[in-house]
């Protein structure tokens, strides 16, 4: 039985990688203490808990070694509380499929958002937007296949890919507005559009996912930081 102070999550409210861990903690009714990090001035605790990457999220549990990397943390949580809301299927084929798409989302799809932001020039931006749109269609295909006609990737309730992809929805909206295009769209990705509406009002998600204002504020700070680094 975990009590509140036993699990600590180092993170920032704005980070989708932190948010997805929070979704899982909520789904599994695991109480935790949240430590908001200032990424411009990282705490000693963060730097010593994650000396290799110095990034959030980091999960600290009792006196054990810190656990870093959001997908590693999620599988860990599934293993320490297997009896409450299993996130990743126990079927090896389904696990492999889910892990494949999580890898695609984290290593191919989401990095395109950052690339789009860092690319100057219309042609460059258009090329990246096309790649994002292609990616969204791959994800639509994955949703159709894995949801099996049900509401979520995980079936009747949230599963692994729901939390892995769902955490990016607020940033997706922001990138769409900022760049005047649709990533998820009624015509191209109808199932994901429905899924997005549904998951954003899910009780494990709605109070975690940041609002647009928080993202806009963060983005302004990020751009200032980038400009400062460039000069």
Partner 1 sequence: MAKQEGEVILLDFWASMFGMRARIALAEKGIHYEYREEDLKNKSQLLLESNPVHKKIPVLIHNGKPVSESSIIVQYIDEVWKDKAPFFSSDPYARAQARFWADFIDKKLYMTGRLLYSTKGEEHEAARKEFMSCLQLLEGELGDKPYFGGESFGYVDISLIPFYTWFQAYETYGNLAIKHECPKLIAWAKRCIQNKESVSKTLPELEQVFGFVQQMRKKIGIEE
Chain residues that interact with partner 1, rule: CB under 8 A: 52, 64-65, 67-69, 71-73, 75-76, 79-80, 92-93, 95-96, 99-100, 103-104, 138
Residue 159's alpha-carbon distances to 91, 93, 153, 186, 214, in angstroms, are: 13, 15, 6, 23, 26
Work out how close the CB of 16 gets to partner 1 at its nearest, in angstroms, rounded to a whole number: 18
Beta carbon nearer to partner 1, 26 or 70: 70
Residue 126's alpha-carbon distances to 110, 121, 123, 172, 180, in angstroms, are: 16, 9, 5, 16, 11
> What is the spatial distance between Cα 119 and Cα 122, in angstroms, rounded to a whole number?
9
Beta carbon nearer to partner 1, 115 or 194: 115
Work out how close the CB of 199 gets to partner 1 at its nearest, in angstroms, rounded to a whole number: 23
- Phi/psi at 84 (nearest 5 deg)? -115, 120
Q: How many Å separate Cα 126 from the centre of its chain?
A: 24
Work out how close the CB of 111 gets to partner 1 at its nearest, in angstroms, rounded to a whole number: 12
Work out how close the CB of 52 gets to partner 1 at its nearest, in angstroms, rounded to a whole number: 7
Q: Is 70 exposed, middle or buried (0-12, 13-18, 19+ CB in 10 A)?
A: buried
Work out how close the CB of 142 gets to partner 1 at its nearest, in angstroms, rounded to a whole number: 9
Beta carbon nearer to partner 1, 72 or 220: 72
Q: Is 223 exposed, middle or buried (0-12, 13-18, 19+ CB in 10 A)?
A: exposed
Beta carbon nearer to partner 1, 104 or 219: 104
Work out how close the CB of 32 gets to partner 1 at its nearest, in angstroms, rounded to a whole number: 16
Beta carbon nearer to partner 1, 72 or 127: 72
Closest CA to 175 of 227, 118, 104: 118
Beta carbon nearer to partner 1, 75 or 157: 75
């Amino acid at each position: 039985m975990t009590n509140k102070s036993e699990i600590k999550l180092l993170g920032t409210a704005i980070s989708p990688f932190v948010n997805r861990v929070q979704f899982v903690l909520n789904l599994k009714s695991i109480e935790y203490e949240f430590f908001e990090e200032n990424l411009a001035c990282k705490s000693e605790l963060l730097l010593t808990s994650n000396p290799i990457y110095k990034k959030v999220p980091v999960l600290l549990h009792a006196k054990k070694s810190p656990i870093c990397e959001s997908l590693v943390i999620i599988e860990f949580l599934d293993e320490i509380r297997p009896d409450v809301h299993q996130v990743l299927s126990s079927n090896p084929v389904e696990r492999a499929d889910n892990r494949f798409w999580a890898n695609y989302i984290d290593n191919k799809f989401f990095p395109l958002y950052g690339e789009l932001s860092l690319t100057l020039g219309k042609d460059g931006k258009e090329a990246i937007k096309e790649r994002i749109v292609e990616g969204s269609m791959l994800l639509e295909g994955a949703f159709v296949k894995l949801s099996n006609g049900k509401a979520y990737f995980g079936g009747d309730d949230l599963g692994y890919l729901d939390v892995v992809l769902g955490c990016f929805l607020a940033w997706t909206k922001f990138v769409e507005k900022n760049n005047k295009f649709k990533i998820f769209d009624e015509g191209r990705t109808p199932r994901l559009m429905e899924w997005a509406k549904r998951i954003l009002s899910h009780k494990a998600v709605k109070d975690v996912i940041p609002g647009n204002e928080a993202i806009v504020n963060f983005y302004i700070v990020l751009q200032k930081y980038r400009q400062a680094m460039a000069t």
